[in-house]
Chains A and B, each alone.
Chain A
Amino acid sequence: MTPKLTRRQFLALAGVGVAGAGLYILFRTGKGYLIENFDEFLPPIIDDPNAWLRITPENRAELIMSKAEMGQGVQTAFAQIVADELFLPFESVDVIMPDTTVMPADIVGTAGSGSVSSMYPVLQKAAARARELLKAEAAKLLNVTPETIAVQDGVIVVEGQRTEHTYGSLIGGKQIVVESGDTPAPVKAVSDHTVIGKPKPRVDIPAKVNGSARYGYDARMEGMKFGKVLRPPTIGATLKNVKVSAAEKSPGVLQIVRDSDFVGVIAETQEAANVAINLIAATWNERSPLLQQSDIDSMLIPGGSGGETIAEAGNADSAIQGAASVIEADYASPLAAHAALEPQGSLAYVRQENGGWIAEVWTATQAPTLSPAEIARAIGLQAEQVILHNYFLGGGFGRKLVSDSSIEAARLSKASGLPVRVNWDRAEEFQHAFMRPPTRHRLRAGLDSGGNVVAWIHEQSSGWVLFAFLPKPLQWLLGIDLAATRGAVPAYAFPNHRTTAWLRDIPAKTGPWRGLGLLPNGFAVESFVDELAHAANADPLEFRLRHLGDDSIGTRLKRVLQTVADMAVWSAPLPARNGWLSGRGLACGEDVKTVVAQVAEVAVNPQTGEVKVERVYCALDCGLIINPDGVEAQIQGNIMWGVSSALIEEATFVDGKVRATNFGDYPILTIRQAPDVVIQLIENREEGPYGMGEPPIGPVAASIGNAIFNGTGKRLRRLPMTPERVLGA
């Protein structure tokens, strides 16, 4: 048996505050890896009701959020959980986005599709404890035994009779006293849920249709000034010298700030700042030769030293030698941008108050309780001196786990004593933000004479995803970026298999992007499974079903596969189209225990190579569903992301910088290209809730590639699947 690190040992090695919820982490123990759920190794989240809930005298519950709302509906899901456990109507819960002096610490951030799965038990326990303490309070007051008391809509009920007492009258506005020795209160049985499982309207939507919703980019205050920061012309360039006289004289400029490599302008208006930053004459030490895309591509070939085997069973090498036939293929995915429509933006006001420094920041970040330490470090304060107000995020997708603009605004504010807002523009987002790293995949498999997989080898390489955010000792300990290999290990019960990953420190900024490695790995793995089915002369559905195991994940995957096949009428031929080739492709996958299967229907123009994704069917099982309408919205959104990534999106380096500066060079999916989406959710209240922010992105690109193959006989092994590549295949 491989020794397992204890949690204490792990935390000692890891320091505090790394990686993402729901990620599976692999422990390198000297002899192979152990796969563990990272959640188990994080400090427990406080479940004191006072951390999360306030009861108002009006008998409403206020729910304190530590997770950011970026459109995933987390506020609504949390409100449903709390309402259900408190026996309150959903409409009686108000969601509060507090500043970080009140917000409970969250060392994970809003990431990894882990908000609902990690917070469901916490909020349940907190609400149940509040409910039972208030029931006990009512019992004392009414001089009855607690067992005779029930709650209906927040009103205390004794033996079926409503009383004049409510949560609000019992405790409204005061703290709930929790004795440390209290036994945990029992939570509701799933079968008793009345709010969970219902398609409740999202609480954040009304403000988003009348314009009143406030985002980080919208932050404003009296006397606010506008900052802009000087950027290096090419990646890795360092400042040699700088002349600021022309910028200083530019109309509306208040101050130029220089602090070693950091140079910024503070002006009366955004336009004045934008003009002035371009008047700064700087010379730079640039990389020589300048980075080109081919440099990145050549670094990515899997192989050589440093590969880490992350999953293995049997002996794949000897099994492949004894196979009746061997299939090989290489796959690739490019750098990809987040392109959240709200660029990042932050307002900071750093000032002295009562003899001490205080830095107040208004922004939109996925890591609100982690950002203050980073901001403080940049301006020489302590984390406790930073107060962060987190607004709505106009798209996060991993990009807003890092708040560069908060740090920049704080530096400009500290240097000037003025409240300064730094809003990035689109060119800054494309050129200076981190991106999804590119990947390469070498796949080999052996089939026996019956067309069964006897050996599977996936050799994968990727740029960094979360590695840059890990402390050095943990980088050494792991040797591999777990985020980059998300989705790299097939869910099938292949008797002999090996997945080996190489992590490449490419000289581009890369980091977390929706699903992390899930979409690139899912594309390679599930396209190659399709190739094997074809080589085995088998139906892709039957081939997948045959190779899945009978464990929980395997069983649930078989169910979603069969469901989606029924939805798409998999066995019936597709109707012919005038002049276009029609194809249908299947793919599936598991991520954070959510299982998903999709069928894509595509039309391919044989003359131009244009691919239209007409429809995507999706069957999904995420365990207990909190809000079915929210789950459907996440599926729809993930599918649009997947289609966009599969067909359109690619960032490339030219002469040391990202070629794209705006959407003209980096188009994203429009309404005209959006497929129909048909969804079926599997009812499975026995487990979960599991994550929903990313899992449905995994199979999208593969289902499209498999559909193109089905319609044209052409196998696309490189993303994006552009018309040129379709014609050239």
Chain B
Amino acid sequence: MGADGTELTAIRDFVLDLKPESMTVLMGPSGCGKTTLLRIIAHLDDRFIGEVEFPNDARIGFMFQEPRLLPWRTVRQNIELVAAPSFTADDLDKLAHAVGITEMLPRYPLELSLGLARRVALARAFSTRPDLLLLDEPFVSLDEKTADRLRRLLLEVWSARPTTAVMVTHNAREAILLADQLVLLAPRPTHVAAIETIDVPQAERDPKMIEALHTDLLERFPANFSGL
């Protein structure tokens, strides 16, 4: 559905297999329906024809493009409100320590910088002990240093508790750093252009290797990687 109320076909003939406990990264140009796809997977959007073979009651952790915290609840309350029943106060403190927001727990979100708010959103997403983790360009509009620190944090928390994850981004290096399975999308109506598998564990990917992979992909899929 377009902004003017007319129906749009954002995505067509789209089949995606997610491997359990792996990170699938969807990469494509802006406006190619990546966010719509995540919303469909999360059962937030039912105006589509097709099937999502994922139970409706599955626990989901969702990191949006903006932190989307409740400004009238403290950081701790923001996490507690959505946390899984088995998630104890002790777990919360550990997770807060892991993402570096321990001092922020009694504060309100309006007092936090964007980088800190994103950390809280990250902690919140993991506090549900999700069956499925959805990440919608979670590190966009941060400076590169902060974004990189947050990516490492995400990897750390994610490796501690491997979860089936789908991430959407248009940042090529971010995609190469994080993906087990890299899905390249072609624009409207969106379809899969190619699926690349990266076998090296994320922790072992150094900048040199990421650059090499990037150059390689740039040669083979200039449409997806040029200008990024």
Check if A and B associate: no
